[in-house]
Amino acid sequence: MKPHGYVHRALYSLAALVAVGICVAAAALLWADRRGTWDAAYVASRNLADGLAGAIGRTLHVYDLSLQGVIERLHEPGVALLAPQTLHRFLFDRSASAEYLGTILVLDRDGLVRYDSASIAPPLTSFADRDFFRVHRDADDVGMYLSRPYRSRLRGGDESLAVSRRLANPDGSFAGVVVGTLRLAYFRDRFSGLSIGERDVITVFRNDGAVLARDPYSMSDLGDDLAMSPAFQQFLIRREGAFVGILSPDGVRRLYTFDSVAGTPVVVAVALAVDEVLQPWVRRAMLIVPVTIALSAAVLALMWLYRREMARRGEVERRLEAQAHTDGLTGISNRRLFDEVLEREWQSALRERAPLSLLFVDADHFKRYNDRYGHQEGDALLRRLAQAIRQKARRPRDLAARYGGEEFVLLRPRTEGRQAAVIAERLRKSVAALRLPHQDNDGGIVTLSIGVASALPEPGQAAASLVEAADAAVYRAKEAGRNRVAMAGR
């Protein structure tokens, strides 16, 4: 059975490995699929951010060139002597056709409008309170400045940004500001042509956190400030171009991809909702995971069924083996098992140089008992005798067996002849003490005749010699009058 046990354990281990392997392979597949889904979303987001940054950069560059053109012309000799209409065309002719450019204004050092691209007669309006004016007034090294969003005072509250540059006197002192208005409709039109998810967000902001534009659009976005957001601080510190976090007021966790607009303080962020990015992968996982669990469970279930079947089969085999080695009438070992054990114990005694004793037991006048009391009573008597003999086989290696008919044997390893004779006498007396009726036997009760043989096996000597010696001894016990114990060789 041991080789079969090794095979079964190997099969169980293999089944467990297969089940674990299926789970590991599925997990690896899901992880690779998730990584691929995530990478594809990152690449798409990165490309979109790059494209938007390039387009916005080109537009701001055109606007800035328009502002620089106005500044250059303001410094031309004799410009102040030109007639108002000529001066207006001279200052703003190249900026009039710029797309989404609202108005170009030239402000003096007090914030009042000196020149207006939309009108020869400038409005009596002050812009000294605007951030773009204060920034240039307070510093001379700002360069191009992009303001926070605001509602235009000159165009009925149109949502706009200001692109501005500083005007300086010959001595470098502050002389005013040239500012161009960029309508926020520019960004909305740019965003409208893009295909993004319902919860994806595109944000254009300055590198100080001021939001300039956002898609989806909301009027409440004007003036938003991301500077205190932990996610925005992470962007400023790491500058890795992408991270996962919460940057929008809606609290949605997104994959943010950043790209700076070259030569400007503007940053474009494309944010894809993590749930939507992973939604296709989740759908696939919801299919793969149950299938994987089912396959693993099926493998384990099959092995459990196999194991149960093998256990049942083993139990049947053990029962059959026990039946093959058990006497059907008395329930003790049969002649076949006795012959196997005798040979094994004989070889063991030969190796260990230990004595081996055999008691050969015969029920006296059993044929007469059968004739008087019937075969059923005879069978019952044999069962009683078998139990009495079994009680003398107390050690693990002792064996009580039915040899045939009314004959029984008791094999006692590591038992010398005198000790075996004592055991035989006790067995004889215990049966006689039962005082089972047997009218055709001496004394009117059931008795036993027992032959005892003991040997110290020698090489070349057969185990059958022990049986022959015990059988001869029981024959002498019968000749001597039955109901007695006889030792072989005496």
Q: Please state the domain extents for the chain.
A: 1-324, 335-487
Helix axes 375-390, 417-434, angle to 10 degrees: 140
Sheet arrangement for strand 448-455: 399-404, 407-413, 356-363, 448-455, 485-487
Instruction: Name the pLDDT band for 135 (thresholds 50, 70, 90).
Output: very high
Q: What is the CATH number of domain 1-324?
A: 3.30.450.20
**pLDDT at residue 80, as a whole number:** 75
| Per-chain mean pLDDT for the chain | 86
Residue percentage of the chain with pLDDT more than 90: 39
**Under 8 Å between Cβ of 486 and 430:** no
Dihedral of CA atoms 70, 72, 74, 76 in degrees, nearest 10, equals -140
Read off the pLDDT of residues 166-194 as tens digits, 9 standing for 90 and up.
999 988 899 999 998 888 888 888 888 78
428-482 residue pLDDT tens: 999 999 999 999 998 999 999 999 999 999 998 999 999 999 999 999 999 999 9
What CA–CA distance (Å, rounded) separates 466 from 455?
7
Token output for 79 = 């410009």
- Cα 276 from Cα 37, distance rounded (Å): 11
Nearest one of 126, 130, 122 to 104, comparing CA atoms: 122
Residue 151 falls in which region: left (phi positive, over 0), alpha (psi -120 to 50) or beta: beta
pLDDT at 108 over 60: yes
CATH classification code of 335-487:
3.30.70.270
235 forms bridges with which residues in the sheet? none
- Categorize the per-residue pLDDT at 1 as very low, low, confident or very high, splitting at 50, 70 and 90: very low
Residue 411 DSSP SS3: strand
For residue 391, what pLDDT band results from cuts at 50, 70 and 90? very high
Query: First and final CA of the chain: distance in angstroms?
Result: 44
Measuring CA to CA, which residue among 359, 355, 356, 367 is closest to residue 391? 359
- For residue 297, is pLDDT > 50? yes
Between residues 152 and 106, the one the model is more confident about: 106
Instruction: For residue 449, give the nearest of 426, 428, 430 by alpha carbon.
Output: 428
Question: Residue 228: which pLDDT band, with cuts at 50, 70 and 90?
Answer: low
Burial of 348 (0-12, 13-18, 19+ CB in 10 A): middle
Distance CA 366, CA 484 (A): 15
Residues 360, 450: Cα–Cα separation, whole Å: 6
More confident residue, 320 or 161: 161
Instruction: Tell me the pairing of strands 485-487 and 448-455.
Output: parallel
C-alpha pair distances (Å), 74 with each of 114, 157, 189, 395: 11, 29, 33, 124
Omega before residue 216 within 30° of 0, cis? yes
Which among 185, 190, 112 has a CA at the least distance from the CA of 153? Answer: 112
- Neighbour-count burial of 278, counting CB atoms closer than 10 A to its CB (0-12 exposed, 13-18 middle, 19+ buried): middle
Cβ distance 252 to 132 under 8 Å?
Answer: no
pLDDT by residue (tens digit) across 361-390? Answer: 999 999 999 999 999 999 999 999 999 999
Q: Does residue 31 or residue 13 have the better pLDDT?
A: 31
Higher pLDDT: 334 or 304? It is 334
Q: Does the pLDDT value for residue 159 go beyond 90?
A: no
Mean local confidence (pLDDT), 399-419: 94
Length of the chain: 490
C-alpha span between 86 and 120 (Å, rounded): 10
> 366-373 and 375-390 are packed helices; what angle lies between their axes, rounded to 10 degrees?
140
Instruction: Select the more confidently predicted residue: 97 or 415.
Output: 415
251 sits in the region (left: phi over 0; alpha: psi -120 to 50; else beta) called left
Q: What are the C-alpha distances in Å from 107 to residues 19, 136, 181, 196, 304?
A: 78, 11, 13, 41, 88
- Mean of pLDDT values over 240-264: 79
Token pair recorded at residue 124: 């009596």
Bigger pLDDT: 55 or 316?
55
Given its phi and psi angles, is residue 303 left (phi above 0), alpha (psi -120 to 50 degrees) or beta?
alpha
- The reported pLDDT for the residue numbered 414 is 94
Share of the chain above pLDDT 70, in %: 91
Higher-scoring residue by pLDDT: 262, 444: 444
Q: What is the pLDDT of residue 92?
A: 80
> Has residue 223 got a pLDDT over 60?
no
Nearest partner of 151 among 177, 181, 124, judged by Cα: 181
